[in-house]
Structure 1
Amino acid sequence: MLEKYIINLNKEDKFKYIQIYNNIRRLIEENKIKDNEKLPSIRKLSKLLDVNTITIINAYKKLQTSGYAMQKVGSGTYAKRKDSVRNLRKEYSMALKRISKENMKKYIDFIGETACGDMFPVKSFKNILNEVLDRDGQEALVYQEALGYEGLRKHIDDVFWKSKIGKDNILIVSGAQQGIDIISKALVNINDNVMVENPTYSGALSVFKSRRANIFEIPMEKDGVDIKALEKIVKKNNIKCFYTMSYFQNPTGISYSLKKKKELLNLANIYDFYIIEDDYLSELIYDKDIEYVTFKSLDRNDKVIYIKSFSKVFLPGIRIGYVISPGELKETIKNYKINTDISTSSLMQRALDLYLSKGLWVEYINYLNSIYLPRYKYAKECIKNFLKDTVEFNDPGGGLHFYLKIKNNNIDSMKLFHLCKDNKILITPGVLFYKNQVEGLNYFRIGFSETDEKDIFRGITAISDILNMK
């Protein structure tokens, strides 16, 4: 009944939306507005309270960002009691932990983020390891120089950067996550302002939260971040950095257009902030219209901090990656790396170096593309054929996953996760990728790196049955 929403507003207060927010929040906390109860439409409430619709929109937005309401597309805004806003990430994590390693084999695994271990050429890499040990002996097992093994840094420069970066500007790290962590320690202090894509990689969110930074989320569009929204933020705030995944962003699968890369680089120069570029899965480009051009390769003002991991496609169990820093941050980032773990595995650095120098890397990536391209096409067709009435999605054109938006207002991604799990299917709910977890309740991610075509068909048709339940 609308009577419960009658609020005595102080007409002199220009922030009426805060008054409305506080009163509706109180009604929710006192259980006078029930959990999951539909709130009045914007038009109805604005008429009842004699305020303009923008005031109600702002009040509802604040309720959503504070975790007291959620919006269901095409249906309206619904109340959510604070104590019912669970720690959804923890709930997801605990649910997975309850599955034993042995039982995991019985599930269709759509949560994988790395190339399947079955793809990795164990025999050839074993030969590489033996060759390194025969060649270098105990030297292969001792700590390297602070930047990492010189041979590997030189081959990274030669193979991936056409000798334009210089080996002394490359820092070997233990995977992309460590790269984000040490960059954050070098750059971000308490209450510093950072920007991230919305949604974004949960590991980056965790790092910036641990630094107690103020996190500004910028919505994603089909070709990258919303530039206008980002510019509004940088005009009003002193921003330290913007974290971005330039190719097949996790979770959306979006890749940046060349136009947006140039616009972002221009803004970084004007407003003096760094772009942290996490080059994620760019080895797996299936759409020939997607051109590989990194932010770093376009950077003329030393504003890009580049991170690349080999773990996602090459060595999932052995953490190796590298960072290319702007000149003024190079020593600081190197020192934080040393303070974190002294040195990344010497043996693995030398093995990867030899792997690159023998040209085996290119062979392996070509092999991965030959396996994953048909799997990607098949997964896309299954989504189109079986989920067309229940989800929306953008075609990523590469990578190892799809990000889906649920159309059904009667189910959210956590409920879907649990129902899928009961049917021996594992998906990733969207709540993991948002600072405010409830924003992700309409989304889920499915990866195809750990599944063959048979399991892709079985899994997607089962998800279709679940989403179509009345």
Structure 2
Amino acid sequence: MKEYLKIDFKEEIPKYVQIAVHLKKLIETKVIEDGEKLPTIREYTEFLRVNKVTIVNAYKKLQNDGFAYQKVGSGTYAKRKENVSIFMKEYSKTFKKLMSENMEDAIDFAGETTGEVLFPIEDFKDIINRVLDRDGVEALISQNALGYEKLRGTINKAFWNNTLQDEDILIVSGAQQGIDIASKAMLNINDNVIVEKPTYGGALSVFRWRRANIFEVDMESDGVDLDKFEEILKKNKIRCFYTMSYFQNPTGISYSLEKKKKLIELAEKYDFYIIEDDYLSELIYDQSVEYTPFKWLDREERVIYIKSFSKIFLPGIRIGYMVMPTIFKESMQNSKFNTDIATSSLMQRALEMYIVENKWKENIALLNKEYQKRYKLMTGILDEKLSEYVTYNKPGGGLTFYLVLKESFVTSRELFLRLRKKGVYITPGVLFFRDMKDGDKTFRIGFSQTNEEKILKGLETIREELDLCHI
């Protein structure tokens, strides 16, 4: 047995985790080659002087993390993942530049937030001034870790018809913080989590940071594949399932009522929790899409509901909320307090007044009207001019489309780099998968940062680039 396979074990970390981490490093640094057979379970057990179950669990973890695969009757083999971090850095650098510089000619199909031109800034400025006149310095210095009390009450009344207790609502700094708080309250190292395939990259990052084992389930036209979902439940103790119930990021898929009910039943049967990220459900253009979140169906407190106002309000404000089940309430409150103590008091008070005075509903109506026009324009062009190269499902709402390349003449990462040279920006699908290879034939485009003129020009550029790639 080769010396580099040896490990000096530390007492505080499970041995199988240390073995998996060690082998990952060897695979990533090419000490163990891609496709090379790993030691047999018996050989490695004797070499490291551990029990057989430890090696079995280490190899399982390697497979779950995408660093190994098994051949029946032959053994376990190394699988080197492409270095996603290099591309991620390049992608991140691109959009930092896009946001920091005045690039008026850029066509940003990658943005996910409301364009500032659509926000009624004069109304909001008026409300800020009235809040300051009403509350004075209290609006600036007051802190409550759980959130401004009147805002929590207003959210309960306006969005939940007073069916919740105000103390069940926790104000957070956007959905990302809500996911982080939920994971800290619920997950320990090596707990098992199910996510949609593909899914929001920010959620994947949180679960990786918590060192959870991540299981992916393919998306169908109305939600996850329930048969594959239950197969995982039968074989593994699952702690939670992360889902975006409306206009899922990136696929744009919304869950059918039947699947929501079935998933609630499975949560009760197999004792797991559902983290529901309610993403852009205000922006519905197709009336066949009905609004019934998982939380409305929740009778046994199995759903942790998270809602951000950032996507449809002002991104810079960073306000959202979560509805906490009783069992996790104390740990989630503690997690919030340890994270940032309190969210901006002034912005919470302004948002509360904005909702109470129905400015919120007026703004949502404005957004729906404008975005529906862009949505229809984009679907028309996709159907007419890009159907030769891509397929997609019409989401019926939201701000994005998820496109699947029909042929393998170009990857979405290559397409991103080619389009970037021409001032057009897309989101490659690799960012939404645990194993980046799975997303190389998909990419997401959105219309929140593009007017009609830019949509026409940008989609024409994509068409031209695909033509060139196809030659």
Scaled to the shorter chain, the TM-score interval is 0.7 to 0.9
Q: Which residue of 2 aligns with 1:281?
A: 280
**Is the 1:67–1:85 Cα contact (8 Å) retained in structure 2?**
no
For the Cα contact (< 8 Å) 1:408–1:467, is it kept in 2? no
Where 1:459 maps in the other structure, the secondary structure is helix
Deviation at 1:409, TM superposition (A): 1.2
Deviation of 1:438 after TM superposition, in Å, equals 1.2
What amino acid is the match of 2:407? N
Q: Deviations over 1:370-405 (max 9, x none)?
A: 111111000111111111000010000000000000
Q: Does the CA contact (< 8 Å) of 2:64 and 2:214 recur in 1?
A: no
Aligned letter for 2:313? F
For 1:306, the aligned partner's letter is Y
1:59-208 correspondence to structure 2 within 5 Å: 65-66=66-67, 82=80, 85-87=83-85, 88-97=87-96, 99=98, 101-102=100-101, 104-208=103-207
Quote the residue 2:252 is aligned against: 253
- Counterparts in 2 of 1:332 and 1:81: CA distance versus 1, 3 Å: closer
Q: What amino acid maps onto 1:177 in structure 2?
A: Q
Aligned partner of residue 305 in structure 1, secondary structure: strand
How many Å separate the matches in 2 of 1:64 and 1:333? 27
Distance in 2 of aligned mates of 1:64 and 1:338: 32
Distance 1:352 1:225, change over 3 A: same
- The alpha-carbon distance between structure 1 residues 84 and 168, as it changes in their structure 2 partners (threshold 3 A), is closer
Alignment root-mean-square deviation, CA: 2.2
For residues 415 and 130 of structure 1, what CA distance do their matches in structure 2 show?
49
Please state how far the C-alpha of 1:145 moved relative to its aligned partner. 2.9
Post-superposition CA distance 1:336-387 (Å, at most 9, x none): 0011111100001100111111111111101110111111000111111111
Q: CA deviation at 1:235?
A: 1.1
Question: Contact 1:67–1:436 at 8 Å: present in 2 too?
Answer: no
Q: Aligned letter for 2:100?
A: K
Q: How far is 1:30 from its partner? A: 8.2
Match for residue 393 of structure 1? 392
Q: Give distance in 1, aligned partners of 2:312 and 2:432.
A: 21
Question: What residue is the counterpart of 2:382 in the other structure?
Answer: 383
Give the Cα–Cα distance (whole angstroms) in 2 for the partners of residues 99 and 317 of structure 1: 16
2:65/2:214 contact within 8 Å kept: no
What is the CA distance between 1:81 and its match in structure 2? 9.3
Which TM-score applies when normalising by structure 1? 0.82
Q: Does the aligned pair in 1 maintain the 2:403–2:444 contact within 8 Å?
A: yes
Q: Return the letter of the residue paired with 2:299.
A: R
Displacement of 1:168: 1.5
CA distance in 2, matches of 1:99, 1:131: 34
The answer for the alignment partner of 1:221 in structure 2 is 220
Q: Post-superposition shift, 1:66?
A: 4.1
Deviation (angstroms), 1:157: 0.6
* Aligned position for 1:262: 261
Supply the distance in 1 between the matched residues of 2:231 and 2:175 (Cα, whole angstroms): 29
CA change 1:206–1:137 in 2 (3 A) is same
Q: Percent identity?
A: 55
On the 8 A contact 2:426/2:443 being kept in 1, the answer is yes
Q: Secondary structure at the match of 1:168?
A: helix
In structure 2, runs of 5+ residues without a counterpart are 1-29, 37-62, 70-77
Q: Is the 8 A contact 2:112 2:399 kept in 1?
A: yes
User: What are the within-5 Å matches in structure 2 for residues 1-20 of structure 1?
Assistant: none
What SS is found at the alignment partner of 2:372?
A: helix
1:452 paired with 2:451, answer yes
The 2-side partners of 1:444 and 1:232 are apart by 29
Note the residue ranges of structure 1 that are not aligned, 5 or more in a row: 1-25, 33-61, 69-79
The answer as to 2:364 corresponding to 1:360 is no
Q: Give 3-state SS (helix, strand or coil) of 1:104's partner.
A: coil
Deviation at 1:91, TM superposition (A): 3.0
**Relative to structure 1, is the Cα distance of residues 285 and 191 closer, same or farther in structure 2, using a 3 angstrom cutoff?**
same
CA–CA distance in structure 2, aligned partners of residues 333 and 449 of structure 1: 33
Q: Deviations over 1:298-348 (max 9, x none)?
A: 001110000000011012111100010111111110110011111100001
> TM-score normalized by structure 2?
0.82
TM-superposed deviation, 1:262? 0.3
CA contact (8 A) 1:89 1:431 kept: no
Q: Kindly indicate whether the alpha-carbon contact (under 8 Å) linking 2:278 and 2:307 is maintained by their aligned counterparts in 1.
A: yes
